[in-house]
Amino acid sequence: MAAPQMIFVNLPVRDLDASKAFFTALGYAFNPRFTNQDAACMVISDTIYVMLLVEPFFRGFTPRPLCDARSHTEVITCLSAPSRAAVDALLDKALAAGADEPMPARDYGFMYQRGFQDLDGHLWEIAHMDGEPG
């Protein structure tokens, strides 16, 4: 049996220590094996990781200019949550840690979601699915 596929989302950050403190406040841990002064490996699950890379280090992986996520949208990373209450709890933590909530909560009946913008402007959605679209 093949190993499960993994995902590593790479995000540029201006202040690695501030980003680590922010995501720690949300309850995430970091893998010290893949964390140093240039990068931090945030563990979302056994197969999902977010690499927070300081901007100069991130630039070494692409010839293209970085966008400023505080004024441009690059991507929206969506994570599932086990319940509506878990969505709200994570958003409450994010807001308390300094995030912004750019849009109001959305309830589609089968899906409830809220989103936040982290310290570097990256957009995150937290969603609970309960059923299927009508």
pLDDT given for residue 1 in this prediction: 78
Beta-strand pair 123-129/76-80: parallel
| Full pLDDT tens readout for the chain, 134 residues | 788 889 999 999 999 999 999 999 999 999 999 999 999 999 999 999 999 999 999 999 999 999 999 999 889 999 999 999 999 999 999 999 999 999 999 999 999 999 999 999 999 999 999 877 76
Q: Identify the pLDDT of residue 68.
A: 93
CA 53 – CA 17 distance, rounded (Å): 11
Domain 7-129 has CATH 3.40.710.10: no
Domain boundaries, the chain: 7-129
Q: What pLDDT, on the 0 to 100 scale, is given for residue 38?
A: 98
- How many CB atoms sit inside 10 A of residue 42's CB? 22
User: How crowded is residue 71: how many other Cβ atoms within 10 Å of its Cβ?
Assistant: 7
